[in-house]
A and B are shown apart, each in its own frame.
Chain A
Amino acid sequence: MRHLRQLEDQSVYILREAYKHFDNLGMLWSMGKDSTVLLWLARKAFFGHVPFPLLHVDTSYKIPAMIEYRDRLAREWRLNLVVGQNKKALAEGMNHERGRVECCTALKTNGLKQLLEEKGYTGIILGVRADEESTRAKERYFSPRDKNNDWDFRDQPPELWDQFKTSFPPNTHIRIHPLLDWTEINIWEYIKLENIPFMDLYLDKGNGTRYRSLGCAPCTFPIKSTASTVDEIIDELRATNVAERAGRAQDEGRGMELLRKDGYM
């Protein structure tokens, strides 16, 4: 419990620094467990309010229950929800059968780029965690992107103590990562501690499977599991050494390094 409060204090501090320094700020919300915890932390940081828009890059291939959940919380928590979509790529028939990395690039990376360009956000808050995947392990809390959204991982700015990169030249933006130090188990422990509403796709409902990580329906696969409560998920995670994103197809090979260098979340 103490370790969760330490993580919470650091994330809240980062969110408040972001809100202080960026006039045009948005938070990506995929409705998954991580970005929903991030949204909850924003409500913690701003005392029940969320003083910036929640951005959802809709690939149109999301599991329908995710959209219902999104709209319900947006209503109940009075969120300013902004939905972006790469309509041109969809009109041209983009889907995962043309290649997973190609599809992610078009619908997620480019969908996000279009949204950023249209709205002119200078700071984007994301729920990525260092333990998810090895290039995310090398991220900064405040991570600059150039005008093409490219991540120059060879030359990241220094980050000393709690002094972050909060100023930036025109035509660039900063990605803010308040959840970097959280693990998958921490996320579930915190959901339990704070009683945060989450999608029941993460639970087994009697057929012996559940989702461990949520994305687009065609590229996300459930795992075999009988965990039907948060406690059972935590017990299961403590005992496993299978990677969380093993059910996410785009991670295979060098997929993530290449995707992330070009601006993927």
Chain B
Amino acid sequence: MATCKTDTPAAVDIRDRMNIVIVGSVDHGKSTLLGRLYADTGTLPEGKIEKIQAICKQQGKEFEYAFLFDAFLEEQQQGVTIDTARTFFQWAGRQYIIIDAPGHKEFLKNMVSGAARAEAALLLIDAVEGVRDQSKRHGLLLSMLGVKQVTVVVNKMDLVDYGQETFALVEKEYRAFLSQLDVTPQFVIPASAKLGDNIATPSPHMPWHNGPTVLESLAQFSSESEQGEQPLRFPLQDVYKFDARRILTGRITSGRLKVGDQVIFSPSNKSAVVQTLEAFNVEPPPTQAQAGQSVGITLDEQIFVERGEILSHERSLPLVSTTFRANLFWLGRRPLDMDKLYLVRLATHEVECRVAAIHRIVDADNLSLDQQQTNAVVKRNEVADVTIQAKAPLAFDLYADFETTGRFVLVDDYDVSGGGIITEMVADREETLRIEARQRDFAWVQGDVTLADRAKHYGHRAALVLLIGPDITGKTFLAKKVESMLVAEGRHVYMLDPENLRRGLDADLQDEDARETIRRYGEVARLLIDTGVLLISTTNSFNLPADQAVEAIRTLVHPAPVLTVYMSQEAGASPIEADLSFTGPEDFTRTTHDVLAALKQKGILAETIGNQPVFQFSI
């Protein structure tokens, strides 16, 4: 059965592989180009063309190369590609996955899904119709998706009598458009996919074309990535403890990592030394790894780190903020809603966020315009310049500097509904405190006893319980009860009333020095937490709105867990989203138990003391 075709270039050993996407407006001939490419290089399965020809004859339709890859019945009936297909193709020592993306506007999310997997693109423009909205939109999306290598194919040249002038007009218009996106096409090729002109063989009808055929142009795309030469970025994916080893896993998105490297985790500011690189069925074990690799590492000490953190070297840290500005393409069924909570996923970090501002809609036709639009509504398939504000600080980069850690998706309910690239870090209110905490943590001198040792010894993690709410709601009373009950259990607890700082450490401050008051409080809390203590505090003395006070304290004690408890006389909305809320409690014993239960549920308190309690510090 196997036919021998050893003379085809496909039989050569494979050197590398590459994903290429074919994009462009609907009916500009993407599927036809793909079919033709396979047919003319002899890489179709035996009998495939005959089979499709027979079906066409049966249905009374003219055979089209597009039918070779439009697999779904509906696609063939309507003559339109619905979803992206991966097709495989080998030529001249390279294995290609060619992704045929739909051009119809309705299926833009499928086009985006296809293009997001690609390293290079063929962008088709119909010589008769010229540059259409979708041609521009696809060009814009390619640049946002990180596809930097583009070759433009001006198709259906047979329908314009292979006219060089028609071609030159399309080429000029589209080059001008791409230049606004800082994209220079590698080639612009006049072709006819239907008739095979300049697809796999040079066209006799267009002797004026000096460039390559489409097939030749594929070999000109580079599969070398620059990411290996950039500073290290390694987003933490998971932490495993299947056996004696505690292995941190993830995929290096840029740079290199070696055994013995000192690495910093952002945003927690923890650091450790890489002890080993772990791998299954690899002898001898690897000692270094680089961008693209999925790896596992062990550290010289057991530090508390979580999925979502980004490992880097200290000489090149990622940015950290709750807020950033980005270009976002929106694929959600409903328009982007500024009142709604979304999830932002950036590398492996996932956190709730809001859209804080919509600056303008980026239209493929007005790329260079810089006007502000107010009350802009971002509808499905639109691109917008927005500010995203997350509920907790994220580590990230600007997209211009780092591809993978400079982009994110928004998740609405269960679905990925938009993707964006970060254009600017926005300093939030805590920026100054965050920088202070970062520099202080890097320089922190630590004894031999780790936080994990202390947690085992005391039966709880070091943490902070913050009681907030109006005056005379029993906050101090509750704080005392929680402290007493935990001490009676044998835990290491301390009630720190901010009033105690006022006459001493803060004696030089006035009421209007609210930010300095809270900074000093935060640093004291940070010191005490480093002793392994479970700290309980009220927030009455701070001359700041509760949400600002809590955020400032969180920033300074980060990454220690903070449990917030809101107390009020009457039912009403808390100024912050508290972990626990109590209204006019009368039974304080029960309230105290509720706080203890919440501490256990958050994994701060061990269920029992002694006998080596186990804590889930990460993941």
Q: Which residues of A contact B (CB under 8 A)?
A: 2-3, 5-10, 12-13, 16-17, 19-20, 43-49, 51, 130-131, 134-135, 137-138, 140, 153-154, 156-165, 167-169, 180-181, 183, 186, 194, 223-225, 236, 238-243, 246, 254, 257
Given contacts A9-B294, A46-B242, A238-B11, contact A158 B97 (CB under 8 A): no
- B407 lies within 8 A of A161 (CB): yes
Q: Name the interface residues of B216-265: CB closer than 8 Å to any CB of A.
A: 237-238, 240, 242-243, 245, 247, 249, 251
Say whether A194 contacts B281, CB under 8 Å: yes
**A2, A44, A254: the one within 8 Å of B73 (CB):** A254
Name which residue of chain B comes closest to A241, CB basis.
B46
Interface size on B, residues (CB 8 A): 72
| Contact across chains for B245 and A167 when beta carbons are under 8 A apart | no
Which B residues are within 8 Å of any A CB, using their own CB? Answer: 1-6, 10-11, 14-17, 19, 42-46, 48, 69, 71-74, 82-88, 95, 97, 109-110, 112-113, 116-117, 145-146, 237-238, 240, 242-243, 245, 247, 249, 251, 278-281, 292-294, 296, 307, 331, 345, 404, 407, 409, 411, 413-417, 419, 619
Contact A45 B294 (CB under 8 A): yes
Q: Tell me the minimal C-beta distance from B48 to chain A in angstroms.
A: 8
* Nearest CB in chain B: distance from A226 CB, A: 10
A108, B333: Cα distance in complex, Å: 35
- Say whether, besides A138-B71, A161-B419, A163-B416, A239 and B88 are in contact (CB < 8 Å): no
* Chain A residues whose C-beta falls within 8 Å of the C-beta of B292 in the assembled complex: 6, 9
Contacts of B407 in A (CB 8 A): 161
Distance (Å) between the CB of A27 and the closest chain B CB? 16
Instruction: Tell me the complex Cα distance, A153–B71, Å.
Output: 11
What are the residues of chain A within 8 A of B249 when measuring CB–CB?
Answer: 16, 45
Question: Do A51 and B242 form a contact, CB below 8 Å, given A17-B237, A154-B82, A167-B414?
Answer: yes
Query: Which chain A residues lie closer than 8 Å to B73 at the CB level?
Result: 254, 257
Name which of A20, A46, A156, A160 has the most chain B CB atoms within 10 A of its CB: A160
In contact, A181 and B86 (Cβ under 8 angstroms) = yes
Chain A residues positioned under 8 Å from B414 (CB to CB): 165, 167-169
CA distance A87 to B86 in the complex (A): 37
Cβ contact within 8 Å between A47 and B247? yes
With known contacts A159-B113, A181-B97, A242-B1, A153–B72 Cβ distance under 8 A: yes
Contact A239 B86 (CB under 8 A): no
Q: Bound state CA distance, A6 and B17, in angstroms?
A: 9
Give the CA-CA distance A80 to B87 in the complex, in Å.
35
Q: Which residues of A sit under 8 angstroms from B242, Cβ to Cβ?
A: 46-49, 51
Instruction: Report B-chain residues with C-beta under 8 Å of the C-beta of A131.
Output: 86-88
* Cβ-neighbour of B2 out of A17, A45, A223 (below 8 A): A223
Please, how many angstroms separate the alpha-carbon atoms of A141 and B402 in the complex? 24
Chain A residues contacting B4 (CB-CB under 8 Å) are 239
| A160→B278 contact, CB < 8 A | no
| The residue from B112, B145, B280 contacting A43, defined by CB atoms under 8 A apart | B280
Q: Which residues of A contact B296 (CB under 8 A)?
A: 47
- Given contacts A3-B14, A45-B294, A47-B280, list 8 more A-B pairs with CB under 8 A: A7-B17, A47-B242, A131-B88, A163-B409, A181-B86, A183-B88, A246-B1, A257-B73
